[in-house]
Amino acid sequence: MSEPHDYGFDTLQVHAGARPDPATGARQVPIYQTTAYVFKDADHAAALFNLQEVGYIYSRLTNPTVAALAERIAALETGDGAVCCSSGHAAQIMALFPLMTPGCNVVVSTRLYGGTVTQFSHTIKRFGWEAKFVDFDDLGAVKGAIDEKTRAIFCESIANPGGYITDLDAIGKIANDAGLPMIVDNTSATPFLCRPIEHGATLIVHSTTKYLTGNGTVMGGCVVDSGDFDWSASDKFPSLSQPEPAYHGLKFHETFQHLAFTFHSIAIGLRDLGMTMNPQAAHYTLMGIETLSLRMQRHVENAEKIAAWLEKHDAVEAVTYAGLKSSPYFDRVAKICPRGAGALFTVALKGGYDSCIKMVDSLELFSHVANLGDARSLIIHSASTTHRQLTAEQQIAAGAAPNVVRLSIGIEDADDLIADLDQALNKAAS
């Protein structure tokens, strides 16, 4: 296959990373269900373990099916490399792992998925890391939060649950001026709607569980490396710029240049953290990505129609969809997500918490699940589920107040979804 930049998105989502199997001619990427790989000889094995040659050793590190998926996602995101792992949460730790040391911090948006807020508020402290939560609409506050111990800036392109759109250009400039990588969670947007690297992102993380797979079958995560960051420009990133004891003093950035982060994430991150994606999951996600653009167009089309209808409903207090002209983020859509504002947003009900619970229980087509990005439409009351561990202030800041439900609009007939929402809202209001 020619270089990725020679092809359009629809072609890449089908062909990138996929080659006929050399042994059988199989056209679809096979599921390489194996733990280990036979070496050609002792010298070949030594070269692989010493990172002098690229190849397969053990499936905790690399697997042909998983590698095909990583190549496809990197191509769609216009990145130089990628590493797949077991979940979106794993991808976040994988992204930070080469950058952070005890005592360091990451500046993060207050508008994040509740599980991410919990991971950054509590779990990463066990590594000796700190997260500084800032309203990313306040650029002065973002700049002010950066100090000599800051190692990255983290945000979501389309924030879960509210569908808020981050001004990636502005945040990217702040990161660049500070000599820091910007990490963007692009799960809710997918590379079809948003290309964070074009707005200054150094690393992109995905929960491949969501829109990339698109059918609610398997868990997975991915970190995409832009290849653009100079890890040796300062002494902030010794894991990438300084000698690595486990590889006889090898310097990842000096040796692997634009693929330094990717190689480190495989050779050390997956080796020691073990957050491995299994080949069956990679296979399902590869198949899902083949129809990504088709699904995302329908997701957006349905979301626009349903959000506009909801905004006029008597039981609804507010709708946060950025594709509505009433949204304060509407002007960012054309710049950050030119193909649409996604299909994730929240709805605040006039009846408060009790109405939200009654609405969720009254729906028939919408599935009440802790997931998003499925082909089928989904709903959840975030304050009592995904954001339950947060304080009331954190819930409100994240867009998950008690009177709010989150909708993930699927690809069904929009009129059927509207009818289901209407009957449920009427029951909730009564």
| Mean pLDDT of successive 10-residue stretches along the chain, which has 430 residues | 74 94 90 96 94 94 97 98 98 98 97 91 97 97 98 97 95 98 98 98 98 97 98 98 95 97 97 97 98 98 98 96 97 97 96 93 96 96 78 78 94 98 94
- Does the residue 4 lie in any domain? no
Give me the pLDDT at residue 350, please.
95
346: β partners: 406
Indicate whether 278 and 327 sit together in one domain.
no
**Cα distances (angstroms) measured from residue 351 to each of 356, 363, 397:** 8, 17, 20
Give me the pLDDT at residue 72, please.
98
Give me the pLDDT at residue 5, please.
61
Indicate whether 194 and 265 sit together in one domain.
yes
Q: Which helix (H) or strand (E) holds 347?
A: strand 344-349
pTM exceeding 0.75: yes
Give me the pLDDT at residue 4, please.
59
DSSP assignment of 261-311 equals: HHHHIIIIIIHHH--PPPHHHHHHHHHHHTTHHHHHHHHHHHHHHHHHHHH
Q: Which amino acid is at 280?
A: Q
Give me the pLDDT at residue 1, please.
53
Angstrom distance (rounded) from CA 140 to CA 148: 17
**Cα distances (angstroms) measured from residue 385 to each of 113, 363, 372, 409:** 12, 17, 14, 19
Query: What's the domain range around 384?
Result: 292-429
- Does the residue 6 lie in any domain? no
Angstrom distance (rounded) from CA 354 to CA 289: 38
Indicate whether 332 and 425 sit together in one domain.
yes
Q: Are the CB atoms for 355 and 429 separated by under 8 Å?
A: yes
**The domain spanning residue 180 has which CATH number?**
3.40.640.10
Q: Domain boundary residue among 229, 263, 288?
A: 288
- Does the residue 2 lie in any domain? no
Domain count, the chain: 2
Indicate whether 267 and 314 sit together in one domain.
no
Give me the pLDDT at residue 122, please.
95
- Does the residue 77 lie in any domain? yes
Indicate whether 233 and 114 sit together in one domain.
yes
Q: Which amino acid is at 141?
A: A
Indicate whether 140 and 247 sit together in one domain.
yes
- Does the residue 3 lie in any domain? no
Angstrom distance (rounded) from CA 409 to CA 365: 11
Residue 274: count of CB within 10 angstroms of its CB:
12
In this structure, the chain runs to a length of 430
Indicate whether 302 and 274 sit together in one domain.
no
Indicate whether 275 and 299 sit together in one domain.
no
Give me the pLDDT at residue 313, please.
97
- Give one word for 373, left, alpha or beta, with left for phi > 0 and alpha for psi -120 to 50: left
The β-bridge relationship of strands 404-408 and 378-380 is: antiparallel
- Does the residue 309 lie in any domain? yes
